[in-house]
Structure 1
């Protein structure tokens, strides 16, 4: 049996995956949606990886799925436990020795997002709803905002990414075509330069698990099948 391990981005809430998790279970898979200790100032990326490994337990057939900031912790897990596939979804891609805090300036993310906003006639000022929830159904957005806002400590952004190289595990990169936070061409460049791979593109913005859960689940199942046949 395949086990999908769903790793959230900043804020560390497993609730992010609540629309995708049942769809993967309906396809006959085990699913572990991980809550990370995002509000704990004593927890960095290594501690995030510890929590994920503990959540996996003795499960096998692992497919790690990393959303956004989860791209910094998922490879640490892949270096510690047998993983069949790592799927990056609208994710940050670290380089050895690079902190998550330095990633933003190193990659030019702010300029890329501002350029896209200007091209689309939007304000270049950051706006949470406009940047993240522009394509999320209103009732889903309301459910998210009805929950207490998850805190995010700065600790995971401070220390250098500890691996010497990307783990030796098959890696795929899935990007939302309409992501305003990490624009498509920006992500295409990151995947090429940092991973040496091309991205796949699906409809949706930065929060595709909320806006396009069925499409995302189908892509994940497709990746699993391709990996099994490889």
Structure 2
């Protein structure tokens, strides 16, 4: 039995995938889906100021081993969820039969999440972090805004309709988050070292993405240690929410190819 392991991105929880999960189950009725909460988010309490990529990897691996102790795994990651992918693949090899990255972060070998940001954003975060003293509170991202209206266009693509906007900013999905994990090194060589053969990777590239522009995504695809199948989507950053049927087809289709 295949298990689709869904890893959310920044400022979110496993509930990010609520629109996608039933569609995966319809397309692949014999499969399981596991939408994890990364530490400090959802049902995984943790100190947002100190969470590392290794903490997140360990949490995902433990969740998978508890919920799906055997059978093949397809790992699906959105946005900053991509930072945990190499470690999770290494921790669960050889069970991982495919990886689907959706506008996901891929640092250069040994680099970090800052290397996946637009330069002005990365520099601003580096400067702010460097200015903190030992008694200053850590940098964290806020949860739901008082005024959700800016979210209607913030992620690119067609402006969110009222129902989708409410879905996105719901406190079960939009939560305070860490930035500490963006400063942690990531090594895709772990995938090569742990896997008996190439793990097929599909990258869903969101062409109208504002947080992670298409050119930056193309640069990240080029950092992967093996050739990936790239599928371009005419969507903003939140494709699994705004276009769940198309994403579900591509996830199931890519892993059956």
Contact 1:109 1:186 in 2 (8 A): no
Contact 1:11 1:38 in 2 (8 A): no
Q: Structure 2 CA distance, aligned partners of 1:219 and 1:134?
A: 19
Q: Structure 2 CA distance, aligned partners of 1:45 and 1:142?
A: 30
Number of residue pairs matched by the alignment: 209
Matching of residues 37-186 of structure 1 within 5 Å: 37-38=39-40, 40=47, 41-57=49-65, 58-81=69-92, 82-104=95-117, 108=119, 128-132=151-155, 134-135=157-158, 136-147=160-171, 149-162=174-187, 164-167=189-192, 168=195, 169-186=199-216
TM-fit CA distance, 1:12: 4.1
TM-score scaled to structure 2, two decimals? 0.73
Contact 1:14 1:34 in 2 (8 A): yes
Contact 2:77 2:104 in 1 (8 A): yes
Q: Cα 1:185–1:109, aligned 2, differ >3 Å: closer, same or farther? A: farther
Contact 1:137 1:211 in 2 (8 A): no
Q: Structure 2 CA distance, aligned partners of 1:211 and 1:204?
A: 8
Matching of residues 196-207 of structure 1 within 5 Å: 196-197=227-228, 199-207=230-238
User: Structure 1: any 5+ residue segments left out of the alignment?
Assistant: 112-126
Greater mean deviation of Cα atoms: 217-226 or 40-49: 40-49
The reply on whether 1:214 has 2:225 as its aligned counterpart is no
Q: Cα 1:13–1:86, aligned 2, differ >3 Å: closer, same or farther? A: same
Q: Structure 1 CA distance, aligned partners of 2:218 and 2:229?
A: 7
RMSD over aligned CA atoms reads 2.4
Q: Structure 2 CA distance, aligned partners of 1:47 and 1:101?
A: 18
TM-score scaled to structure 1, two decimals? 0.81
Q: Cα 1:208–1:59, aligned 2, differ >3 Å: closer, same or farther? A: farther
Q: Cα 1:163–1:174, aligned 2, differ >3 Å: closer, same or farther? A: closer
Q: Structure 2 CA distance, aligned partners of 1:215 and 1:100?
A: 27
Contact 2:107 2:115 in 1 (8 A): no
Q: Deviations over 1:106-158 (max 9, x none)?
A: xx4869xxxxxxxxxxxxxxx64422165333202113323264111122122
Q: Cα 1:56–1:133, aligned 2, differ >3 Å: closer, same or farther? A: same
TM-fit CA distance, 1:207: 0.4
User: Structure 2: any 5+ residue segments left out of the alignment?
Assistant: 42-46, 123-149
